[in-house]
Amino acid sequence: MTQTTQATGHLDPDLLNAFIDGELSPTESNGIQQHLADCHPCALRVLSATQLKTATARAARRFAAPPEALARLAAQLRPQESKRTARSYSFRSVAWAGLAAALVLALSLGGWWQAHQANTLSAELLDQHLATLSSGASPEVLSTDRHTVKPWFQGKLPFSFNLPDVLPADTTLKGGNLAYLNGQPAALLLFTIHKHEVSVFLTQRSGSPIATPLPGTRSGFSIHSATTHDLRIVAVSDVNPADLDLLVSAIEQTQSPR
Amino acid sequence: MSSDTTSASFEQLALPLLPSLYSHAFWLCRNHAEAEDLVQETLSKALRAFDSFQTGTNFKAWVFRILRNTFLTSRTGIAASRTVFLEDHPDLLGTTDAGPTPEDHLISLNNQAAVNQALDQLHPPLREVLLLCDVEELKYKDIALVLDVPIGTVMSRISRARRTLHQLLQPQRGESL
Ligand SMILES: [Zn+2]
């Protein structure tokens, strides 16, 4: 027993840790268990230390990886996507390309368009959408200034839109790009809310036969849509749905009243 | 072996570790964008060094060691390492622990917010060793490999880290005595 206890006859702190961390041999563990059976203070210490270990793990797991970050990293591991060209992209471009890949994955897993617009958003358009995000690298227009972003789209799209004067708290405009959604040219606006990336697609409502609201959540992503007289707004992100709603509402309300 | 075989098995080994690598990277950098960059660079380094990985040894420990070394040579890491990561402050990392008194057991663990806060406050090298032990569930010998320290140092840091958490979670009563 002298090996498993300190001079006081109780468990040495290092030994107690080794015990709860499963570092001891069966013989050593048995010796400790015998002591614990007879020693209330040490049994309490072991219980307390075990609880602390569990609580520490729980506290540490608060910062889980955002799904789109994991998707980007997973894409990096796939041989065909870890080619040298991929490395030459700027970090942001890889990020946005990965976001697109994550979206496609999330959306295809959820199959939301199969339910609502089975044939309208074809694989070809999806590819176009992906290509827009990945080949063009960073957003075509990279700016946090709505006075820069909005005019950039003029002449590139058959419709126009407004951007809110004031965005919800901790929401930042990052830039914009052209995209295709549901077979239509779309303005893709990139935002961050609490550092989560958000894609907002604006398309012309008249050209879109489908007006059914999209489902709220798929595979960890929230999908929110709204329609104005002229526009359909679809936002996708892994940020919490309430914050995403605030952004969609802000964009919706800033469009010209019907 | 062909490079295809190499990358396939590297992917197989690394893919399940992405959430852990990211989470640990976040704790090192305390920033999401930097954490992702760090994991990205770690994966790229690990793939290049994969030939030197010895089959049968712990891949997780091997890649966490690369993560840590990559962090320490990053801008954030260099800034942090001068003060906290490389120097072993004897007062912070030493083994001068007295055994806990019975009062030390009476901490409130039903308050997860308090535990979260205590972990945030913990000196980074102490937090690091606890994360490797309690969250990543690495064995002491693998933690020693990640941190590049003797196993005895791992044990004393774990001991010190838990003792500090206990103290941080104590009611303020101790100070008024
Ligand atoms: Zn005892």
Cβ within 8 Å, pair A69-B43: no
Name the range with the highest mean pLDDT among A247-251, B18-22, B163-167.
B18-22
Cβ within 8 Å, pair B36-A77: no
pLDDT at A180: 62
Residue A183 predicted with pLDDT over 80: no
Q: Which domains does chain A have, with CATH numbers?
A: 13-118 (no CATH), 125-253 (3.30.200.100)
Fold observed for domain B98-177: Arc Repressor Mutant, subunit A (1.10.10)
Residue A156 predicted with pLDDT over 50: yes
Q: Please give the residue of chain B at the shortest CA–CA distance from A51.
A: B109
Top pLDDT among A242 and A95 is at A242
Cβ within 8 Å, pair B99-A60: no
Contacting residues for A254 by C-beta, under 8 A, at least 6 apart: A162, A163, A164, A165
- Percent of chain B at pLDDT exceeding 90: 53
Residue A119 predicted with pLDDT over 80: no
- Residues 76-105 of chain B whose Cβ lies under 8 A from any Cβ of chain A: 97, 99-100, 102, 104-105
pLDDT digits (tens, 9 = 90+) for B125-152: 999 999 999 999 999 999 999 999 999 9
Q: Which of A32-36, A138-142, A171-175, B78-82 has the lowest mean pLDDT?
A: B78-82
What is the average pLDDT score of chain B?
Answer: 80
Residue A222 predicted with pLDDT over 50: yes
Cβ within 8 Å, pair B99-A10: yes
Amino acid in the structure at residue B68: R
Residue A127 pLDDT level (bands cut at 50, 70, 90) = very low
Residue A258 pLDDT level (bands cut at 50, 70, 90) = very low
pLDDT at B109: 59
User: Which residue among B102, B115, B156 sits closest to A55, beta carbon to beta carbon?
Assistant: B115
- How large is the average pLDDT for residues A77-105? 49
Residue B18 predicted with pLDDT over 90: yes
pLDDT at A204: 81
Q: Count chain A–chain B contacts defined by CB atoms under 8 A.
A: 130
Q: Please give the residue of chain B at the shortest CA–CA distance from A82.
A: B44
Residues of A in contact with B102 (CB under 8 A): 41, 44
Residue B88 predicted with pLDDT over 70: no
Å from CA of A38 to ligand 1 middle: 8
What Rg value do the Cα atoms of chain B yield, rounded? 18
Residue A178 predicted with pLDDT over 90: no
pLDDT at A220: 66
Cβ within 8 Å, pair A59-B119: yes
Whether B7 contacts chain A with CB within 8 A: yes
Q: Give the residue extent of every domain in chain B.
A: 1-83, 98-177
- How large is the average pLDDT for residues B97-110? 50
pLDDT at B152: 94
pLDDT at A110: 45
B1-83 against B98-177: fold identical: no
What is the average pLDDT score of chain A?
Answer: 72
Residues of A in contact with B142 (CB under 8 A): none
Q: Which of A48-52, A173-177, A251-255 has the lowest mean pLDDT?
A: A173-177
Residue B8 predicted with pLDDT over 60: no
Å from CA of A24 to ligand 1 middle: 17
- Chain B interface, mutation test: which of A46, A53, A56, most B Cβ atoms within 10 Å? A56
The minimum CA-CA distance between B159 and chain A, rounded to whole Å, is 6
Amino acid in the structure at residue B16: P
Residue A213 predicted with pLDDT over 90: no
Query: Six-digit token pair at B108?
Result: 């409130």
Residue A65 predicted with pLDDT over 60: yes
B1-83 under CATH 2.60.40.2130, yes or no:
no
**CB-CB contact of A160 with A123 (8 Å):** no
